[in-house]
Each structure stands twice: as structure tokens, then as C-alpha cells.
Structure 1
Amino acid sequence: MRWRRRRLSRMEDARKAQAPIKGRGAASRVDGRYAVTVACGEDDGWGSVYEGMEAPPRLDTHVTEERARSIISRNDSPDIGFAQSINPYRGCEHGCVYCFARPSHAYLDLSPGLDFETRLFAKTNAAERLQAELARPRYQCAPIALGINTDAYQPIERRYRITRSLIEVLDACSHPFSLITKNSAVLRDIDLLASMARRQLVTVYFSVTTLDNRLSARMEPRAAAPHSRLKAMQALSDAGVPVGVMVAPVIPMINDSEIEQILEAACAHGARSAGYVLLRLPHELKQVWREWLQLHYPDRAEHVMSLIQQMRGGKDYDSAFGTRMRGTGPFAQLIEQRFAKAHRRLGFGRLPPLDTSRFVAPRSPSPQGELF
């Protein structure tokens, strides 16, 4: 087997994966939209290095440590409930095949497919940058959403502890923040979260896509199992941390039948607020998702995509504000009505507002050091 580089034609179809890869959501390195060249394998007549193997070689996770120049991201999107966010990592080892953040890896000239979940970047100076940005004289306190583009509690957090260091900075200056995760590893920081919850400084949402362990293992292979998320939800609730659930994403003919069951299970485990988001397929994610469908559900792949397009104005995705999270059309309305009915029946409300009045800016670093 030899490898060569060749130019990427815009009209060229993505390479097809032959089989799922155990422990990974994507099954191939779908080319990024900015790629100029791509790598491809060609048989040179001496036999493939994979000949006789029952499965492709294991894909290890590679982490690159980087120094961030800034850490707080800001947005003014009208359909997003926060203005500030922090992402401790780029890429996510959870490997959720449906993740809307996958296309962001194209900016790094990496694949939104397998590279997104195997080639990660850790912002090792995140806490240092956060403290410096909060200390700026013009900084206006507003709740920060932690771990939005990629999960702040993905597996590599056990090693790097960047999320823990960020929460310690927020705790020290009484800055409010919210979390959304699909990993029970959040319980490691229950001491900080419980303490901040008593001051109305934190809320935690869990993303629950399905209660079916087999489906979860296929769609989100390295995220915590559904029952583990529910147990973590209950533990945080018992510790006084306001907890909510996001049924996300809702996918027709894959997990849409579970909406009511997920809400019931979350309510029974302490969740007091709930929301949902329809499957979003921006940019290269369309290819990653279609490939996954063909590998895991070939019998219904066309039907699933037909329903998705019915909710997206005939396209795979419509990014228009106001409808990108919910979709349009009869099927989208049916999902909305089912969710609203279960939401009312179970008594879900809103989590308490976060308190910005307690914020005390950290001291700016001084070249003379801390004398007093």
C-alpha cells in the first residue's frame, strides 16, 4: 500500500467507508470544505498492509497542547440563550456522529469525520487566560456557558483537568456559569458545583439522546451510558445543583419515539427544566451522517433523510435563525406538540436565574507581583 497526494475536485464524491469502526462515531475521514489536497491509498501490487485483517487498525487519540490567545467566545445569535462561552478543548473524543461542531475541524485543515474525535487540542493555559480576561476593566459580567462546541467533560479531561481549573477561577470571583454535558465525569467537581449552586452561580444540563444503550454506543460511542447520565443528574440534584435535560438531537425514525420516555426518566432523576433540539447537519456533517445511516440503518436511511428534508425546506439543513433548532413543516410541528404536552404533564419549569451581582473581578497580574 502506498500513499500519494492529489488535488481535491469540488465535484468529487466523498470516499465510502466499508464498515463501522468500534469506539468511533465517524467511519472515515470526510474531507474538510477548505481542503486543497487529500490523501488516498493505492495498491502497488505488493498486497495491502490490511490484507487478512478482520478489522481496520485501532485509531488512537492524539492530543496537541496549545496556548490560547483568548478564551471567552461571544455571540449575538438570537436563538441561543447565552452571549459568552468557553471551550476548553477543540475536537471531542465522545465521537457523537451527529455533533454540529464537527465542521469546525475544517478550519484546522483536519477532517470533520475521524479527525474530529481522534485529533484533539487542549488549551492548557485556559484558566490563566480566563483570569486575565475577567480582570479587564471593561469586562461586563454575564453568565458563561462552559463546553458548548465540544464537551468540557470529554474523556481527556481526566488527564488535563482544564475544566476543573476554569471552574476554580469562576468560583474564586463568584462568576455565574452554566454547563451542558453528556458525561457523568461532571461528578468529580460536585464539591465546587454544590458550593456555587448555594450562591446561584451554576446550572447544569445533561444532553440525553436516547435511553437505549445499543443506540447510544453507535451514535455517541465514548460518552457516558444513558443510565450513568441519569445517575449523575440525580446526584447533582441531591447536592442542590439545579439540573435540566436537553433531548438532543431529535432524529426522525431513530430516537424521536423516545421523547416522552427521556423526559419522564430525567424528571424522575431530578431534572427541573427541559428542552430539545432537532438534528442539525451543517457543512460536512451531512456526509458524516449519511455515511453513518448507510452503515447502521441501510433499510431506513432514505426514509430518515426524507423526513429530515421535509423539516428543512427540502434540504438537508437550513441554518436560518428561529427555525434551525426546531425545523418547519408538519413533522416538526408534531415533535413540538409531543414535547410540549409531555413538558406540561411532567411539570417542567425554568431553572433559577444565575446571579451576576456577586461577581468580584480578579486582580490583574502585576509585574511587581503580589506585595499586599
Structure 2
Amino acid sequence: MKMTIWSKFIVAIPLAVILLIGLSCMVKTEKRADNTLKDAFEGKFYIGAALSANHINDEGQASMQVLKNHFNSIVAENVMKSGMIQVREGEFNFDQADKFIEIGKKNDFHIVGHTLIWHSQAPRWFFTDDEGNDVSPEVLSKRMETHIKTVVGRYKGQVKGWDVVNEAILDDGSWRQSKFYEILGEDFMKLAFQYAHEADPEAELYYNDYSMANPGKRNGVVNMVKKLQDQGVKIDGIGMQGHVGLEYPTIEAFEKSILAFSDLGVTVMITELDLSVLPSPKRDMGAEVSTNVAYQKSLNPYTEGLPDSVQNQFDERYLAFFKLFLDHHDKISRVTLWGINDGDSWKNGWPVRGRTDYPLLFNRDNTPKSVVKDIVQLASQY
């Protein structure tokens, strides 16, 4: 039958509509595939990265563009620690910390300060007098107050939250016998949070530690936080350092800690996240920075890249953790990677110097690993 011009037009309309719908779907699919990490987690939690002095002093490097594209929160890896800021008593050097803050303000990042009180990377003068003897509790508490109020006060209203105390509880739940503890006892924790709150009443205040999925440490931190709360001390969150491996800790143990900490009425943050693929000299070494193991070739097996089997394990493990975080996004306010690309990571030198590790979500050339798109897709389901 011969078609009229009108009938041909009628047929063409639905065909055009179908083509337009198909094109629209292709555009939407392409847009979805191009989503960044910060887009994927919008409305769920901040996604952050730690900045080293290298990043802070070279904003033009390619990894900084990755930071701006994929992340919306930053934390200082080292430049805000007491040993960097106050090498000698009363001589504060804020040069690097100021640059870090400026990067955050210029790019509208959520800024986290790390860390005010930590037994490691604290200057020796903090704990001793002119003759090398331990100072009195009164002197140490005054030095803590001066340091905390000077640093927090300088960045009042700019830093959204502070890691007030770092790594004060051991894996068995007992207190680390640091100089802070030896001189002041448990009170050093209360005083640190008290001084930080007085310096900036609006800033959130956190306790941060590694191996937080360990039952002993979990219980120790819960007990410590409850004591602070009973004393009326402001503590807003607990940072669970995510220095994990392919086999440890279990997802179930990590989840138990998220729930236990959330039950305290504080927010939970996943901090210092990295996933090592390298053999560990011993199971679940945590992240004690003083650990140093002699180099062995068997402990550095992937100098030329990862085998497919290990890459698959890596992808599955990261997805499992991000599924856990998304399942509990109502309890988690932030997830922060400890670096931007694999070349940044401290895991290349800890606990064995000179190794090649692949613990982050971006390769050394700043390209995203295949798991990034899988994480973005996973987040779209929540």
C-alpha cells in the first residue's frame, strides 16, 4: 500500500521519540559513569584525602587536580603536628600549616586538623626541664594549654574538626604509657579536649586511633569516651584509622566497632584509609610508626605491578569496605584516604623501607583504579 506524506510523518514521530529517548539514556549513562567520588557520596558523608608537605608546596601537580575533582575534605598528614609547629618552646612556625589552610579555603574543602596531642612527633622539650628531668603535671598541662590554644585559636572558624588526641589506647584496651600519661595520668585526655573546646567552641573534637576493629581497643576506647562524657567533656567523634590489609581486619569486626562507637552518641569517621596488598611481617600490625622491619625481597613482591589475582582481591576488598560505610552512612560523617595516589602513601616505607605498595584509589600516574567506578556505581544504589 502506498503511504501518504501524512502517514509517513505519523510513523516518523514515534521513531524520532525513540531515538531521542535512546540518546537521552546514553547521555545519562555516560554522565553517571563520569561521576566523581564526591558526587557519589554527596548527602552521605565527606570523602577526603591527606595532604603532605609536597602537595601543599606544589599546588600545580597533577594529583592536586585529582584532589579537587574527587574529594571535598582535606586533612594535614604531618604539617600540623606539634613537632612541626613548635620545635622549640614558644617558637611557633605556621608557614606550612597556613598554606594547608589556604588550600582548603580556596577550594571550599571541609578542613580537618591533625593532630594536637600525640606521643609520637612531639618535641622532647614538651616533657622535660632544663636539666632533662620530667616536668611537673602543672608544667606539662600549661604547655599543653599554650600549644592547643595557640594552634586551635589561630584557625578558629576555619578548621571544622580537630583530631585532639591521637593513639592513646593500646590494643588490649589499656592506656599507652606515653609521657603525657606518665606525668598527667588519664587527665591529659580530659585537659586536651577541654583546652581545644575553650579555644574554638564551634569546632568538632575527635579521638583518633588505629586497629579500632580490635575488640580490646574497641572496649578501651568506649570506656575512655564514657568517662569523658560523664565528666561533661565535649567529644564529638571517633576516628577509626583504616590502615587495613587484604585479610585483616574482618568486615564484621570493623562493623562492630562502628556500631559500638555510634552507640556513644558521637559521629564515626573512617580516617587514614589505605589498603596494603603487601605481605605483613606479622598479622594485623596496626600502625605503630616506630615499628621498623628489615627489608626482605619476599616482603616486596610487586615492584613491577600487581598480578590480576591480587588486583581482583584489592578491588573486592575496597568494595566490601565501602559497602559497609554506605550501609552505615547515617553514622559516618567522613571517609578519608591517607594520601591521593599510591606514590604518596607512607605504606611504601612502613613497616619495611623501600617497598612498592598500591594502597590508594589512584595510581602513581593519577589515573583512577578500576575499582573507583565500581565504588561510584555502588554508591548510586544508596
Tell me the TM-score normalised to structure 1 length. 0.42
Q: Relative contact order, CA 8 A, sep 6+: which one is greater?
A: 1
Tell me the TM-score normalised to structure 2 length. 0.41
